[in-house]
Amino acid sequence: HIGPLGLELFPPPQGLKAEYDTLFTKDCLLFLHQLISTFDKEVDQVLRLRVSRKAHLDLSGDLPGFLENTSHVRTDPDWRVLPVPPRLCRRHVDIGDLAPCDTQRFIKALQSPAQGIQNITPDFVDTHTSVFYTHVCSHPVSLLADVPHISEVPVLMLRPRAWNMVEPNMMVEGKQAPGPLFDFGLLMFHCGKTLFEEQSGPFFYLSKVESFMEARLWNNIFVWTQQKLDLPLGTIKATVLIENILAAFEMEEILYELRDHSAGLNCGIWDYSASFVNKFGHREAFLLPDRSKYVNMEKRFLRSYMDLLVQTCHRRGALATGGMAALLLPQDTYSTSYRTVLDTVTRLKLLEIQAGVDGFMVYDLRLIEPMQELFRLHTEGDNQLQQLRHDVIVSPDDLLSMPSGGVTLSGLKHNIAVSVLFINAWLSGKGHYFYRGQVEDSATAEISRSQVWQWICHQTQLEDDSRLVNRTLVTELIKEALTELSVFCQSAREKWRLHTAADMVLEVVLKRDFPEFITTYLSQDHTFLSSHKLPVK
């Protein structure tokens, strides 16, 4: 399908031509072409900057710190982000990891009392095998019955793919389109003005931002788009997910670059922890211990990160939000396990509330009201912007201090299982799955495969076993995992898919150089593309 000169769009998925034609109109394709052509070089520049910074860290052995050339931004006490619209003032509980392809859950979420919903139209979480397909099949979701008016449903927070992702189904000037521009452009063209008129957006989550220069690029994109669509400056609002150790040193600068369009910053745990392996994985001083046993938000490096994020946001009038509670409540509300899970989530999220966060996410919709009640019991008003956290003093050492602890056999097995099952889900066209009472997604897959790679790299000795983590042991444990998981396969194709996933996990964790993002590897690696298309006889 040929759009404007210089744009090529691949044919529609089978059975979805009507939706495809509705979505990709001539005017829409023209807008996408202009958007992508305008910013494509800047996208390449920020990606080259990432490579340059990583090379500098590797060659010099230096550690990151707060930037000297932007100290004036941090020391200027006067600047603030623009106030957010009324619908964003109260962010207590958002629903995470949700796409309209999961129609039943999507409708329930729209009918829920949550403040917001992350990842709508389509699954923008970097974890769908065909975002293009999802875009097309999700487009008619606005026509769902029994859904309240958009001004009455939880605020929709759209999450474009990160800069490391491309859209292989669209070529612009001979290059694959940047995934986030494709996602953002489609949403803005079709829904931007309607969301603005209903005072319900457009609002975004921006993932995998590594520097203030990337925030500046997003701000330029927002300004250009608002001018193009005749929307007032500051209409678009975005929450930046601080998922990278380098970004943690530039939080104030990131807010400054997006000060007209900021909906605050968000802190999680697993993508952020995985970024230490990404940036310093070859350095033994940054060996990350068993995450199940030794890594949590109470540890110094994560607690400092959350405290600094809250202090930075509130100092500048921006909202600070926490990560997603991934635990799932058991079906039996009277069971001991139900109470145990609820108590665990409550304890962990209360720590975040006491740190000053203005909200966080849950996956299980049944956690919405208990967590909202937690906010009612421990806070006053719509948010905690008045909590300026003057007590917080965070140094580079605080942010870079690895928790003590070792590697356990059970932790290694768990990371292997999570990695295999994530790739298996990806091959099935799903971005997340359930395992041992919680939802697993790209974030937990990222930390799991990162830790296995790092433990092999340093031939770490297990603390509860005499063996070293090496190729032989990991290969053996992957085979064990296959044996245990294969019993759940109901067809030859499912078994083939699981074995393919296991082979790919072994391939990823044995790479000499650390694959930067599991999602990029799965989306663009030839081995994956070939295996995904291989017919099973």
Q: Which of 90, 91, 159, 389 is catalytic?
A: 159
Do residues 275 and 245 lie in contact, with contact meaning Cβ atoms separated by under 8 Å? yes
Question: Is-catalytic flag, 389?
Answer: no
Torsion of the alpha carbons at 139, 142, 145 and 151, rounded to the nearest 10: 160
CB 312 within 8 A of CB 252: yes
Q: Which residues on adjacent β-strands are paired with residue 324? A: 361
What whole-number distance in Å separates Cα of residue 226 and Cα of residue 278? 35
Strands (E), 375-432: none
Half-sphere exposure of 295 (CA within 13 A, CB side): 24
The owner of tokens 């090496």 is 470
| The one catalytic residue among 94, 126, 307, 441 | 441
Q: Give dist(CA 351, CA 299) in Å, integer.
A: 12
CB 451 within 8 A of CB 415: yes
342: which 2 tokens? Answer: 């609820």
Tell me, yes or no, if 347 is annotated catalytic.
Answer: no
Nearest to 371 by CA among 322, 330, 444: 322
Tokens of 218: 């997003």
From CA 489, how far away is CA 483, in angstroms rounded?
A: 11
Which single residue is written with the structure tokens 């925030």? 215
The answer to whether 360 and 352 are in contact (CB under 8 A) is yes
* Sequence-ordered strand ranges (E) for 319-458: 320-325, 359-362, 433-435, 438-440
Burial class (CB in 10 A: 0-12, 13-18, 19+), 229: middle
Q: Cβ-count burial of 77 within 10 angstroms (0-12 exposed, 13-18 middle, 19+ buried)?
A: exposed
Q: Report the 3 state secondary structure along 130-180.
A: CHHHHHHHHHHHHHCCCCCCCCCCCEEEECCCCCCCEEEEEEECCEEEEHH
Which positions are annotated as active-site residues?
159, 441
